Amino acid sequence: NITIYGKTGTGKTAAAKFAREQLIEAARDKPVTLSVEYVRCTDFNTEYQVLTYLCQKLGREVPNRGWTKGEIVNAFRDVLKRNVFGRNRILIVILDEVDILLEKDGDGLLYTLTRTDNIAILSISNYLNFKQFIKPRVASSLMDKEIVFPPYDAEQLADILNERSELAFYENTLEDSVIPLCSAMAAKEEGDARYALDLLESAGDIAIDKGSEKVLGQYVREAKDVIEYNKVKDVIVTLPTQQQRVLAAILRLTQEGEEITSGKLFEAYKEISKGDAVTYRRIFDFVNELEMLGIISTNTVSKGRAKGRTNIISLQIDTDLLEENLYSVL
């Protein structure tokens, strides 16, 4: 079993899929039937969903809901026990973003897979601490080799973009500064190759929209603004209503020039919620989640012995951009 760690855009999924093709090719001349199944845990985030998907991929029709856990586990193991044309079956399961499944559903899937013969697990996660969701007995059965994918540097990103640009653009349509700019910007974003490719693609789209025969360096800078705008918009419109209200309260206090303490935030939030407010304690959960998304930051400061310590909350994104997107969904 193998676990791959690394930040977004460091090639974890691409490497796993490349390895899958190599493994399938290597097994063609071996006396086994090898299946390598890729599971995106954002789409299948419970043990039942994953086992149902694997059964169906291996040729066993099972219902998407309605069976007990024991029934779906038995069906899955029964499929693996069957020989295919007299050859043993080996299954490799790639669990991409496994931390999402573990956080939602616990380690039941890993328990089942590690206790089923002829299975290897390749887990992929953005987070080094995802194993906090795995019980010791399951972790000891997993016995995985851990591989860390470091972020790409600017030179590596440039190599990736040069290769892709030859496929995407006509010759001599990129200004010399375009790829170095995309690479440098993406290197600052923790070496995210996906971000570098998005920049290049968006810059190309801007060139088309402007009727330009070349992609210019200035279009990369414009592309950065477009991507940041869309990213914030996507985050805001998908937030639960109560979190949107908390964010609206922070925006209002920021625009009024207020120092945003937890108490002031709660009062502003209650005004916006108009009787449909959650508890003061729940507000802290929302604030922590918004901070994890990079929308706000918090700083604990001392107000002296009499008043103790308090959290000061600050916006980390442009207020105009936030207002435009926030009030379109409230």
Residue 224's domain comprises: 154-236
Over residues 127-179, the pLDDT tens digits come to 888 888 999 999 999 999 999 999 999 999 999 999 999 999 999 999 999 99
The residue to which tokens 């170095």 are assigned: 180
Q: Which of 89, 115, 149 is the last residue of a domain?
A: 149
- Does the pLDDT at position 328 exceed 80? no
How many domains, the chain? 3
Compute the average pLDDT of residues 6-17: 94
Give the rounded distance of the alpha carbon of 110 from its chain centre: 20
Q: Looking at residue 137, what is its pLDDT?
A: 92
In this predicted structure, what is the pLDDT of residue 83? Answer: 62
The answer to whether residues 54 and 93 touch, using CB atoms and an 8 Å cutoff, is yes
Q: Alpha-carbon dihedral of residues 112, 103, 188, 150, nearest 10 degrees?
A: -30
What is the CATH classification number for the domain harbouring 183? Answer: 1.10.8.60
H-type helices in the chain, by residue range? Answer: 12-26, 47-57, 69-81, 98-105, 108-114, 136-142, 154-168, 178-188, 193-210, 217-238, 241-255, 262-273, 280-292, 319-326
* Shared-domain flag, residues 67 and 122: yes
Choosing from 202, 217, 236, the residue where a domain stops is 236
State how far Cα 138 lies from the chain centre.
Answer: 24
Six-digit token pair at 135?
């019980």
CB 32 within 8 A of CB 80: no
Shared domain for 6 and 141, answered yes or no, is yes
Q: Which of 149, 179, 198 is the last residue of a domain?
A: 149
Q: Mind listing the pLDDT tens digit for each residue in 258-291?
A: 899 989 999 999 999 888 888 988 988 899 889 8
Phi, psi of 93 (to 5 degrees): -110, 120
> Looking at residue 179, what is its pLDDT?
98
